[in-house]
Amino acid sequence: MRKLFWIATLVLVLSTLTIATVSAQGSTPTDDEVNAIARQLYCPVCENTPLDVCPTDACKEWREEIRNMLADGKSEAEIKQYFVDYYGARVLSEPPRVGFNWLVYVVPPIVIVAGIFVLFRAFRAWSQPSASSPQGATEASTDEDDASPSSDDEYIARMEEELKKRN
């Protein structure tokens, strides 16, 4: 009886494995799986329209082609390369990282970093007092003669005296 039980269990386990294998071979890629690749591609005909949202009949055929390739076991990279080989690099949502295309990836970050550096220097310069300010001149004259008042104060005092005389 016990032996029969184990044989039955073994048969049941093996049969479920078979069912699982058949299911995997016959499964159709879902729309989400197709669109995950399609949104990385542009419609070869309609400008600037991602393949996953393009409503034309031609785009529906291309999405079906992606579905068939997924069902055949092709990887995402293989499918994208197929589209590039057949329709050109313009179908990619990101330019391939070859040749002058590298400028697209390198130049913007450099410009941003340079801009931040320029702003940093500008802010720092604005917050630092300059040596030509009245406070600086006052300090300079004080260094020369500690006993006499600042020239600006004298100048201001003389101006006020002159104004009083005129009034």
Partner 1 sequence: MTEERPTPTPAPKRGVRTSTQIIIWVVLMALLVLVGLGLKKAQNPIISIGSKVPDFPLTMFEGYSYQGASEVNFSDLQGKVVVINFWASWCKPCEQEAAELEEAWRTYADGDDVVFLGIAWTDTPDNSKEYLERFDISYPNGPDLGSRISSIFNRNLGVPETYFVGRDGVLRNIKIGPFNSVQEIQATIDPLVAENITAGE
Give me the residues that bind partner 1 (CB under 8 A), please: 44-45, 56-58, 61-62, 65, 84-90, 100, 103, 107, 114, 125, 130-132, 136-137, 140-141, 144, 151-152, 154-155
Report the distance separating Cα 156 and Cα 30, nearest Å. 86
* Min separation Cβ 25 and partner 1, Å: 22
Strands (E), 18-125: none
* Min separation Cβ 91 and partner 1, Å: 9
CA nearest 40: which of 7, 84, 8?
A: 84
Q: Buried b / exposed e across 78-114, counting CB within 10 Å, b at 16+?
A: ebbeebeeebeeebbeeeeeeeeeeeeeeeeeeeeee
* Min separation Cβ 121 and partner 1, Å: 8
**123 backbone dihedrals φ, ψ, rounded to 5°:** -60, -40
Nearer to partner 1, 21 or 158 (CB): 158
Report the distance separating Cα 96 and Cα 103, nearest Å. 11
Nearer to partner 1, 75 or 115 (CB): 115
Nearer to partner 1, 35 or 151 (CB): 151
* Min separation Cβ 33 and partner 1, Å: 19
Nearer to partner 1, 75 or 148 (CB): 148
Tell me the two tokens of residue 129: 């007092």
